[in-house]
Every structure is written in structure tokens, then in C-alpha cells.
Amino acid sequence: MKNLENAKHVNHQPKRRRFIVSTLSAGFAVAVYPLYAQSITNSDKAGGIKSEQGNSESLLHDSGISVIKLFLCGDVMTGRGIDQILPHPGNPTLYEGYMKSAAGYVELAEQANGPIPRPVDFSYIWGDALAELKLRKPDLRIINLETAVTGSNDVQEKAVNYRMNPDNIPCITAANIHCCALANNHILDWGYSGLAETLDTLKKAGIKTTGAGMNIQEAQAPAIMPVSGKGRVLVFSFGSETSGVPWSWAATAGKPGVNFLPDFSVKTIRDIRHYISGLKRTGDVVIASIHWGGNWGYEVPREQQEFAYWLIDDAGVDIIHGHSSHHAKGIEVYQGKLILYGCGDFLNDYEGISGHEAYRGDLSLMYFASVEPADGKLIKLDMVPMQTRRFRLNHASRSDALWLKDVLNREGRKFKTEVELVADTLILRWTD
């Protein structure tokens, strides 16, 4: 473990190795080559095994080593406009300077891309994503739910307030979501009563939550999810002021709120390490789901990158699930561990809103990560490009998928990652 007292002087550059060697249960070793999606070809000197893309996962599985497969995505914002097209639209009243009724966001979307049938069924918003989830069969499905699920009228003084009628919670269960990270800048948009109803609604729906609670103990507690025959996944959710989470929303021993990330300091890392170490068992995969940074822009601040490194090196985190940016950001694999600095919005009601078109906020990604529970290292990351039209997720066109590929390659260059488009899937390549 690194000495955190000397953290400012630590060189956190990843150790670069051409090959990772995994010793399989049969008693022999196979070399895995991350730069080429960990495929093994006849030309490799790793035993001369020929196989196709993604082969590393099947090799480990065939050799008796379990693989945990995860679905991750960015912000799921089913309040406001989306709530209005669902079977049980809530109170549409808004207190925004721009819009006074949530129905106005539906009108903007229809002006941009055509009429939306109303009401839609609960599965409608997921569109083509449902087929991808069925095809890829992730063990767990984890989202950042960025809306209050409440009928509360306790509106908080802020520019934008999101809420979804609790009777529309089947739109989340329609995708069989297992866990919602809640430490974000919209979960308390409708006050403590709104938070309490959100937590109660999700609990009754059988969805685990983390990152918000009626006190700090509840807000800090991870969602702990056993995966049959493979181990456990622990999800910790954190909300940073850099994403717009107010300091006043921080949960305390006697006050509801979010698991607030006060800064990216050594002390904060120590506190997180202490909490995780008391819960993590051998073979557990730990995810830090962090709402951080602004909505637009590709830059990854150095303090975020170093904080991600420290979480991996010193706090026992295996995956950084970053979100808040409205578009996908660069991806890094550090010490074999996945860092998603910004997943981008996944579902929202921004359709038809002008501004920031260069970032293509209509495009999103489904992230399918396969990790080895023994050490939490990434085996494979596939990403499926999607586009939102009429508040529904659709497969992106090939030209849009190629646009995303170019963005991820440009932003991943500094992290020594790149992606390749194979059929309709973006596949991550990396050196480690």
C-alpha cells in the first residue's frame, strides 16, 4: 500500500506490461494481450492458441475461473418530460426560468423528431437496450438514477428540479435494474420527504440503493449484491460538489442526505479506505460510483485522475463508475482496473434543447464490463452505441458509432486506450 502521507510525490503512472499472465485452474498459463481486446492468435507466443475477439472471457470461463459481467451506464433521468409520457404522469409543474411545465419538454422532443405516443408502456424508454441486455446477460445492472421518485411538492431552490411519479417505477424495473446509485445533484430536488419516498419506492420495487439515506450510516452503506457461484459486488455511491451537489445535502448522523464527497484529499481517501476495508471480503468486486465534474467538456482534471488512482491503490476499489457529464469521456485501465471518468447521460428529456450540439448529447453508451472477481481486474469492456429519439433508446447508426469511436480514441490516447468498432459494438483495447 502506498504511503498516503507522501501522496503528492507519488508517481501514479500505471505499470505497463505487454502481457498479463493468468494461471488457470488446469495448471497452465495463457497470456492475455489487452491491446488487442485480449484476443489470442496463432502469431502470439502465448501458447499458439487461435481464437476470436473476446476470447479471453470464454477461456477463463472454460477453465473454471468465474467472470462477473456488469452493465453500467450514466445518468438515467426519468423525471420531468419522460415522466409525462409514462402511464402515470405526475404533477407537471416546474419552477424553472425556462419552462413552467414538464409537458413543454415533451413538445420540444416532438418538434425535433416527431410525435411520441402517449401513454407509452413502461418498457418503451429502454427501446433497443432491452434486446442488448437480453443478449449479453449481465449478472448485474447498475445505473445512476438522477431523479427523485416522489409526489412531494417540497421544491428546493435550484435551477432544475426532477421528479417522477412513484407509480411509474415499473419503467425502472422493466429493465431489471438491480442497483441505483443515488448520490447526485437531483435526488433531493423535492426535499427530505421526496428522498424518503424515493428510497421507500425503490425498496418496495426490489431495487437496491446506495449513496443516499435518512442518515449518514444509510447514505454510506453500499449495495451488496451476491452473484451466484461467483462472489459479491459492492457498490458505493459518492456525490461531489464539482457536479453541483450542494454541501447542505450531505447526510449526517441526524440528517438525511447523500454520501457527500467533500474533496479529493488524502484524508477523504483514508476515510473511504477505512469504511471499505471493514466490509470487503476476498473475492469481492468493489465499485465506486461517483457523480463528479461538469456537464460538458472532455477534460479529466488531474485531481480526479489521482483520486481514481488512490481509490484503486489504497482503498480497494476495482471499478470507477464516473458520471455527471452529458457525453462520454475518455476511458482508462489503471493497474488492470477500469476507470470510466464520465459515462455520459443514458436517458434524459433534453431532446430538442439547443446548445452544445458538438458533444452529441443524443448519443450514449451501454457499458458491458467483464471482471475477474479474484482480483477485480478488467477482462473485457464492450460498449453498445445508442441514440435517443422520441425519448426512446435506439441503436445508433454506423456513422454515429464511428463518431463515438473517434471521440473515445482521441480522448483515450492520453490514457493509452483505444476502441475498435466490430459490428455494432465498440471494443476497448488497452495496454497495462
Pairing of strands 331-334, 337-340: antiparallel
pLDDT tens string 76-106? 999 999 999 999 999 999 999 989 999 999 9
pLDDT of residue 30: 30
Neighbours of 306 (CB within 10 A): 16
The dihedral region occupied by 261, where left means phi > 0, alpha psi between -120 and 50, and beta the remainder, is: beta
Give the CA radius of gyration of the chain. 21
Give the whole-angstrom CA distance, residue 330 versus residue 317.
Answer: 19
The mean per-residue pLDDT over the stretch 198-222 comes to 98
What pLDDT, on the 0 to 100 scale, is given for residue 178? 98
Strands 20-23 and 29-32: antiparallel
Among candidates 251, 177, 165, which has minimal Cα distance to 209? 177
Tell me phi and psi for residue 194, to 5 degrees: -65, -40
Q: What is the pLDDT of residues 337-358, one digit of tens each?
A: 999 999 999 999 999 999 999 9
Look up residue 166 and give its three cell numbers: 412513484
At the top level of CATH, which class does the domain 68-430 belong to?
alpha beta
Please name the residue ranges forming H helices in 342-423.
398-412
pLDDT band at 59 (very low <50, low <70, confident <90, very high): low
Q: What is the C-alpha separation between 321 and 391, in angstroms, rounded?
A: 24
β-pairing, 231-240 vs 285-291, is parallel
Which pLDDT score, from 0 to 100, does residue 66 have?
86
- Cα angle: 90, vertex 92, 94; to 5 degrees: 130
pLDDT digits (tens, 9 = 90+) for 99-151: 999 999 999 999 999 999 999 999 999 999 999 999 999 999 999 999 999 99
Kindly tell me if the per-residue pLDDT of 4 is higher than 80.
no
* pLDDT tens-place string over residues 174-194: 999 999 999 999 999 999 999
Between 72 and 4, whose confidence is greater? 72
Specify the pLDDT at position 57.
55
Pick the residue with more confidence: 222 or 432?
A: 222
Give the number of other CB atoms < 10 A from CB of residue 127.
20
How many C-alpha atoms does 379 have within 13 Å on its Cβ side?
A: 25
Lowest mean pLDDT among 6-10, 239-243, 408-412: 6-10
Q: Is the pLDDT of residue 28 over 60?
A: no
Residue range 244-274, pLDDT digits in tens = 999 999 999 999 999 999 999 999 999 999 9
63-87: buried (b, 16+ CB within 10 Å) or exposed (e) per residue?
eebbbbbbbbbbbbbbbbbbbbbbe
Q: Which pLDDT score is estimated for 430?
A: 97
- Strand-strand pairing, 257-258 and 212-213: antiparallel
In eight-state DSSP terms, residue 24 is -
Spatial separation of the C-alpha atoms in residues 375 and 228, rounded to whole Å = 17
Instruction: Provide φ and ψ at 87, rounded to 5°.
Output: -60, -25
Give the residue extent of every domain in the chain: 68-430
What percentage of the chain reaches a pLDDT higher than 90?
Answer: 84
402 or 9: which leads in pLDDT: 402
Tens-place pLDDT, residues 31-57: 333 443 443 333 332 222 222 334 455
Spatial distance between the Cα atoms of 33 and 379, rounded to a whole number of angstroms? 10
Q: Alpha carbon 280 to chain centroid distance?
A: 21
CB 387 within 8 A of CB 397: yes
Confidence of residue 222 (pLDDT cuts 50, 70, 90): very high
Q: Which residue has the cell 429502454?
A: 126
State yes or no: pLDDT of 29 exceeds 80.
Answer: no
- State the cell numbers at 10: 507519488
Report whether 145 contacts 182 (CB < 8 A).
yes
What average pLDDT does the segment 385-403 reach? 98
